[in-house]
Structure 1
Amino acid sequence: MTKVYFVRHCKPDFSIKDDLMRPLTKDGQKDCKKVTEFLSDKNISKIFSSPYKRAIDTIKDFAESANLKINVIDDFKERKIGNAWIEDFDKFAKEQWHNFNYKLPGGESLNDVQRRNIKALMNILEENVNHNIAISSHGTALSTIINYFNKKFDYAEFEKIKDLMPFIVCFTFDGQDILNIEKFIFD
């Protein structure tokens, strides 16, 4: 069996509009210790991350404590919304969840995000059979992965987790077949 712990990043500083370089808030930085504590007894053998600063910074403390390298995988990045900042994120997200092909000019649909995330995940599963893996990722990206394996995970479920940072989901696989999905929420 292979266990993959997807870690949704800690709280970012939304005043920074640059999605790639958006840092964690001070509270987000403190919450990285919760991620380290949670993963410390999970026998993680490899760590992967989105290239976004907030994802890397969320898993960095654990990587250092476990003496593991963070392998950056571009396909685990968050979805690109479009070429401009949108003020009404909730309206946009709802539209995307109701139409998985909906996207703004220059942006990605949830289908696009799901395809690239699942492709990257399947490559990792193929190369790391019977290992425990940690992947630092993002809320929408992680939600599309959950949805791929459980179609009941929809907009209402996304709404329940959208403000949870950090948030960890453990996927248990036999080869590339999903056996179990377990969610972990932090106080």
Structure 2
Amino acid sequence: MTKVFFVRHAEPNYENHDDRIRELSPRGMEDRKKVTAFLADKNIDIVVSSPFKRAVDTVKDFADKNGMIVEIVEDFRERKVDSGWIEDFTSFSKKQWSDFSFKLSDGECLKEVQDRNISALNIVLEQYSGKNIVVGSHGTALSTIINYYDKSFGYDDFENIRFLMPWIVEFSFDELGNCTGIKRHSV
């Protein structure tokens, strides 16, 4: 059996609008210790992450304390919304969840985010079969992964976790790569 612990990043600094280098807030830096404590007894073999700083930094405390490196997987990155900051994020999110192909001119639709993240997950599952894996992730990216395996997960569920940071979702996979269970953990 393979277990994958997707870790939605801790609270970021919302003043920084650069998605790739947005760091954790002081609260986020403190809250990542909760992730480290949760993962302490999970026999983790490998830590991978989205390349975005807030995701890396959320799992890096655990990796550092356990003498591991954080392997960057570009395709685990968060959805690209557009070239600029979106003021009415709620309306935008509702449109995307009601139509997985909806996107702004310079952004990604949820179907693209889901396909990219599932493809990356399948590679990780093949490469680390039988291992316990941590993946530093994001709210939307992780939500599309949950939706892939559980179609009932939709906009209302996404809205319920929108401000839940950090958040851990544990996926279990059999030796063929089939998802056999999903558990949500608040930390």
TM-score by length of 2: 0.98
Is 1:27 the equivalent of 2:27?
yes
Which one-letter code corresponds to 2:122 in the other structure? M
Secondary structure of the corresponding residue to residue 31 of structure 1 = helix
Distance in 1, matches of 2:131 and 2:18, equals 34
Which one-letter code corresponds to 2:181 in the other structure? N
Shift in Å at residue 177 of structure 1? Answer: 0.2
Which one-letter code corresponds to 1:31 in the other structure? D
Distance in 2, matches of 1:77 and 1:127, equals 19
Structure 2 equivalent of residue 150 of structure 1:
150
Structure 2 equivalent of residue 179 of structure 1:
180
Return 5+ residue gaps in structure 2 as ranges. Answer: none
Secondary structure of the corresponding residue to residue 45 of structure 2 = strand
Structure 2 equivalent of residue 74 of structure 1:
74
User: Where do 1:1-187 residues align within 5 Å?
Assistant: 1-175=1-175, 176-186=177-187
The RMSD of aligned alpha carbons is 0.6
How many residue pairs were aligned? 186
Which one-letter code corresponds to 1:27 in the other structure? R
Which one-letter code corresponds to 2:157 in the other structure? E
1:104-124 CA distance string (max 9 Å, x none): 011000000000000000001
Distance in 2, matches of 1:12 and 1:143, equals 18
Shift in Å at residue 83 of structure 1? Answer: 1.3
Return 5+ residue gaps in structure 1 as ranges. Answer: none
Distance in 1, matches of 2:49 and 2:66, equals 15
Shift in Å at residue 85 of structure 1? Answer: 1.0
Secondary structure of the corresponding residue to residue 59 of structure 1 = helix
Moved over 3 A (4+): none
1:42-95 CA distance string (max 9 Å, x none): 000000000000001101110011111100000000000011111001110110
Distance in 2, matches of 1:21 and 1:89, equals 20
Secondary structure of the corresponding residue to residue 182 of structure 1 = strand
Secondary structure of the corresponding residue to residue 170 of structure 1 = strand
